[in-house]
Chain A
Amino acid sequence: MIGGSPSPTPSPPSLRATIIEAVGLERRFGDVPALASLSLGVQSGEIYGLVGPDGAGKTTALRILAGVIAATDGHALIQGRDPLTGASKVRASIGYMPQQYSLYGDLTIDENLRFFARMFCLKKAEYEARRAKLLDITRLQRFTDRRAEALSGGMYKKLALACALLHRPAALILDEPTNGVDPISRRELWALLFRFAQEGMAILVSTAYMDEAARCHRVGLLHRGRLLLEGRPADLTAALDNPVYSVVFDPTNTGFNDTLMRHRAIVTASLAQSEFRIVVECGAEAEVTRFLADGGATWTRVAPNLEELFLVREHEASRSTPRTQPTGGREA
């Protein structure tokens, strides 16, 4: 597993061209707003992670930026051009990997690669070189005759990534690329993403995994179609004021953790890798520590992680915005 230890986050590249840009993107499905005024930019060489709960509008945002659905309002720009209505030139600079299975299952790895290479009109020599390189780094060489539908989840995703990268796109848009992928393949996929970012690609990726989000140069938290916050993961977690404790319970006091979780000053609690962590409301520090001491538990104050940050911000946003606002969907 990539685990709890924060991976080294390279400093975001500065003074580079913005490749992927959303300006006030809005999208409604009927009366249901899926995106509300989303603005973000991804620079060359940067990996931007889009996180948020299911239905927050991640897929809708990525689909608009990839030019497969239209925005109700606002602009999507890839290298300054509209990906939906722009000429085929724009699409030639986008690599898009949808969340759902969208390659041809009854075609082999080689046939899928060749088909998409021909859609992008790659020259034969160029294709051969690109194919060899992509098969090498995805370690799929031995399976080129296997049909896509017979591949494991991880191999399929790597093939989809290879298909999206054949034409050396300037912008790579990935919708939950590691969903349903084993931990080793996940790690490999992310290693590939960093490699392509280093080559200057702008990468916009949505993910449900917080450890993945923590590795991005920048992350944005999408909540009900709005961008709640955005920035470098380290900066974001540092800005969280709420105290976070790692708690060790008294083994004789059974049931205390349930009581603790129901405490009104606890914003969120989580158990990960046998570590029980709680996030406490600002100003309720004394009240909670007294409660912990009474229950026979010991605690240490720890630095918040991204997940805790997002849960706190979503918690705040849910309380401040009326519940009636519908959530976005991917039923496009």
Chain B
Amino acid sequence: MREFVLRTSALAHKEALHMLRDRQVIFLALGMPLVLVLLFGYAVSFDVEEVEVAVVDHDMTHASRSFLARVDASDAFRITAYPASAEGAEALFRRSHLKAMFVVPRGFQRALDREEPADVQLIIDGADGTTARVIEAYASALALFTTADLISSVPTSTPLFEPRIRMWFNPRMASAVFVVPGLVAVVLAIITVLLSGLTVAREWERGSMEQLFATPVGRLSIILGKVAPYVGLGFLQFLLILVAGAYLFDIPLRGSFPTLVLAVFLFLVAALGQGVFISMATKSQQLAVQIGAITSILPSLLISGFLFPIANMPLPLRIVSRLVPARYFIACLRGVLLQGRGLSTLWPQILGLAALGIGIIAITTRRFRRRLD
């Protein structure tokens, strides 16, 4: 046992020296998270702001003008065109930046005055589905509030109720607040799988595995020694993304930090184990990078709940997602950072991570043949 600890720590120390002497690794490990946070934080946005819209006012009354003024005044829309009719909407969408068109029909004010439903037609460019859905939601909300205001401006009527929607955990519905916590998992998955994938393959390619195998060191020592320094590096990356997220996108930390640290640790072990496993099976740095990239990026991006809710996936994908460590990790990240949760409610996710981490290390150790052929 003493010898096991001695050898494992010697391997970890040696691995840390490799890491610190390789500028590329340091750059990749610390530069890439920042680049990805900036890229995803700013680019992956479901926010819709200042969408250019056209308006057609067939009513030309105080009420219609008042409604359209509110459309223009809202953060979501900016009126840039006033066509005479809705006839050319299709052509307009095709050759301009216009994404939607409001058409106020004749008799808008009259209907309001009678407190009857007054229709406003909204034509949306559906080519970009995500944006279209957001425009629809904004427009309905706008119509709801404006109608209430317009009616209440008429002294005889009193609104029956006024909707006050509060979005918890992310009051401004900022995409970054939603994306960045998940991004921690994606970034850590990609970088740790790639780096650990390189390290074992490098020993094969450089021939040092032959010398290592001639010593009494055991399989588990080799694997744990490889993984340990990268757990440290992973923590550094995690803190870096967290701090960058807090400064750039106001990502909060509302819940239990120790729970999050535990989740990070378990996730890193699972991701590193995956990398070592790939590296062991391929014995080539180039192949390890390719397989590592595919098996880390795709699952953590697509079936982890990062971008798409797992509940909406078909059953087979839901089952596969249970084997993706990022799934549990993202749940922990959002739970702790945004929802203020702790171990008392997140323990199933922590258990899932622990099971995957121990499982992959066990499989890797078993499959690791301690010889050259």
Chain A interface (Cβ within 8 Å of chain B)?
Answer: 29, 63, 66-70, 84, 88-89, 91-92, 94, 96, 98, 100-107, 111, 114-116, 118-121, 163, 332
A68 touches B6 (CB 8 A): no
Tell me, in angstroms, the Cα distance from A238 to B373 when the chains sit together. 40
Given A84-B371, A103-B208, A111-B17: A67 touches B6 (CB 8 Å cut-off): no
How many A-B residue pairs have C-beta atoms within 8 angstroms? Tell me: 83
Given A69-B372, A69-B373, A70-B373: A92 touches B210 (CB 8 Å cut-off): no
A121 touches B214 (CB 8 A): no
Partner of B215, one of A70, A91, A114: A91
Given A68-B214, A118-B6, A119-B10: A107 touches B372 (CB 8 Å cut-off): no
Q: Is B218 an interface residue (CB 8 A)?
A: yes
Give chain A residues whose Cβ lies under 8 Å from the Cβ of B207.
Answer: 98, 100-102
Interface centre among B206, B210, B213, B373 (most CB of A within 10 A): B210
A101 touches B206 (CB 8 A): yes
Partner of A119, one of B7, B17, B209: B7
Q: Is B217 an interface residue (CB 8 A)?
A: yes
Q: Is B316 an interface residue (CB 8 A)?
A: no
Tell me, in angstroms, the Cα distance from A332 to B373 when the chains sit together. 6
Query: What's the nearest-Cβ distance from chain A to residue B330, in Å?
Result: 36
Secondary structure class of chain B's binding surface, majority of residues:
helix
Tell me, in angstroms, the Cα distance from A91 to B217 when the chains sit together. 9
Secondary structure class of chain A's binding surface, majority of residues:
loop
Besides A102-B207, A103-B211, 17 more A-B contacts (Cβ < 8 Å) are A67-B214, A67-B371, A84-B371, A88-B3, A88-B217, A98-B207, A98-B210, A98-B211, A101-B206, A103-B208, A104-B18, A106-B21, A111-B14, A116-B211, A119-B215, A121-B3, A163-B211
Give chain A residues whose Cβ lies under 8 Å from the Cβ of B211.
Answer: 96, 98, 102-103, 116, 163
Give chain B residues whose Cβ lies under 8 Å from the Cβ of A88.
Answer: 3, 216-218
Partner of B6, one of A63, A91, A106, A121: A121
Tell me, in angstroms, the Cα distance from A292 to B18 when the chains sit together. 64
Q: Is B22 an interface residue (CB 8 A)?
A: yes
In the assembled complex, 19 residue pairs joining A and B whose CB atoms fall closer than 8 Å, in A order, are: A63-B372, A68-B210, A68-B214, A69-B372, A89-B216, A98-B210, A103-B208, A104-B18, A104-B208, A106-B21, A115-B10, A115-B14, A116-B215, A118-B6, A118-B7, A119-B7, A119-B215, A120-B216, A332-B372
Give chain A residues whose Cβ lies under 8 Å from the Cβ of B7.
Answer: 118-119, 121
Give chain B residues whose Cβ lies under 8 Å from the Cβ of A69.
Answer: 371-373
Which residue on A lies nearest to B14, using beta carbons? A115
Tell me, in angstroms, the Cα distance from A107 to B208 when the chains sit together. 12
Query: What's the nearest-Cβ distance from chain A to residue B22, in Å?
Result: 7
A70 touches B6 (CB 8 A): no
B210 touches A100 (CB 8 A): yes
Which residue on B lies nearest to A111, using beta carbons? B17
Which residue on B lies nearest to A89, using beta carbons? B216
Give chain A residues whose Cβ lies under 8 Å from the Cβ of B209.
Answer: 102
Which residue on B lies nearest to A91, using beta carbons? B216
Give chain A residues whose Cβ lies under 8 Å from the Cβ of B21.
Answer: 106
